[in-house]
Structure 1
């Protein structure tokens, strides 16, 4: 029934059209509010966020002073850790000692909802959620259909969001790394030290360090961990 929404979101040509389509989809699914956030990890400590939502202005202003509880928000914490959708309500917050936060947002219509995350290679993530002020259906079949529709739509929305919000990394912009440099980055990504990487590749620890330093320089990174994330984002390693 919602398949036209999948086609429509893929065809959007502007950020305004993107917002209109995700709001239309949420409404068709039975939700008043929707949010779609694209995240790009540039380093272990720096990420770039592109968020689209129809959050009421009153709640934006009221939630401005709740930054600490937002960092602990159980729905966002769930989405950061995996890709399994979460169906949340008051109990989700009470169990984490954040009942007061739920009461704050419930006053603005955020009483229950469904959220999920897509974690892609190259340090990219897409988080989408739909929210409303009335209970979700009790029928497992109806609820399963809601979740499935959101999952399918999110896949298409992520593609559109990447096209509209994320700067294009062209092939010409990708630095040329040697096979050894890529191998050293790959093992670093797996948590190996320079000594362990050298042992695996049958090279000295010093040589492994030199390969990592060369890769850092080519990628414009200040640490080996940032180099790994940049290489992932450019599709050089996976």
Structure 2
């Protein structure tokens, strides 16, 4: 069922579509609020923070206070690690910050799962889902939720970088030939090299050559990575 969410967020064409995909995924895995934050560090300048989510209006001021963010144990974890964090009131009590939890709990932030992807060139993607209800006691169910969040984050960060990052900070788009783009498009549809060759009216060997050339230009080790990167860069849709 969640496969549709991964594809929807990957194919989002603008901020509204991206936000809608993130919110639908959040609700389907049983959470009320979500925050997807793209961070772009620039040498000698303040980092850019671009957030998408549904933070309650009354909590905006508290959410954006820098002083609190420097104390918040969840945010401090995300700054240093890529391992997902399952948090609750105990997370704050153990660090002597029960007051922060009390403040956010009034807005529905009582428990949640958060993770960060630290990417090359000073780019980071943070994704956190939160809710008022306790987290599942069944470890298998909780593990499944964390795994779903991790997989969704991998897809969402590609789109966030494509849509939210300023053009001046976007990676340079490699120049793929028409045949290389066509080969990637059909690979995205799950076609084998033989099928791609048949569709395009070329030999299987030539189809493999076009796919390999695209992988090389995109600096990817597999054709599946090449497809994802081509989607993120807007080379295929």
The equivalent of 2:222 in structure 1 is: none
Any unmatched runs of 5+ in structure 2? 174-237
The superposition leaves residues 97-155 of structure 1 with CA deviations (integer Å, 9 ceiling, x where unpaired) of 11011001001100000000000111110000000000000011000000000000000
Partners of 1:73 and 1:80 in 2: CA distance: 11
The equivalent of 1:54 in structure 2 is: 54
The equivalent of 1:184 in structure 2 is: none
Any unmatched runs of 5+ in structure 1? 173-238
Alignment of 1:135 with 2:134, yes or no, is yes
Conserved 8 A contact 1:69-1:98: no
The alignment's TM-score, normalised by the length of structure 2, stands at 0.69
For residues 189-200 of structure 1, the aligned pairs below 5 Å read none
Superposed displacement of residue 58, structure 1: 1.3
Higher relative contact order, structure no. (Cα contacts within 8 Å, ≥ 6 residues apart) = 1
Superposed displacement of residue 25, structure 1: 0.4
The equivalent of 1:96 in structure 2 is: 95
**Stretch deviating more after TM superposition (88-97 or 111-120):** 88-97
Q: Structure 1 residues 100 and 163 mapped into 2: Cα distance closer, same or farther (>3 Å)?
A: same
The superposition leaves residues 67-111 of structure 1 with CA deviations (integer Å, 9 ceiling, x where unpaired) of 422221100100110100000000111111110110010011000
The equivalent of 1:145 in structure 2 is: 144
The equivalent of 2:26 in structure 1 is: 26
What is the RMSD of the two structures over their aligned residues, measured on CA atoms?
1.7
The equivalent of 2:229 in structure 1 is: none
The alignment's TM-score, normalised by the length of structure 1, stands at 0.69
Partners of 2:82 and 2:164 in 1: CA distance: 22
Q: Structure 1 residues 16 and 139 mapped into 2: Cα distance closer, same or farther (>3 Å)?
A: same
Superposed displacement of residue 44, structure 1: 6.3
Partners of 1:121 and 1:162 in 2: CA distance: 12
Partners of 1:140 and 1:24 in 2: CA distance: 24
Q: Structure 1 residues 134 and 44 mapped into 2: Cα distance closer, same or farther (>3 Å)?
A: farther
Aligned length: 171
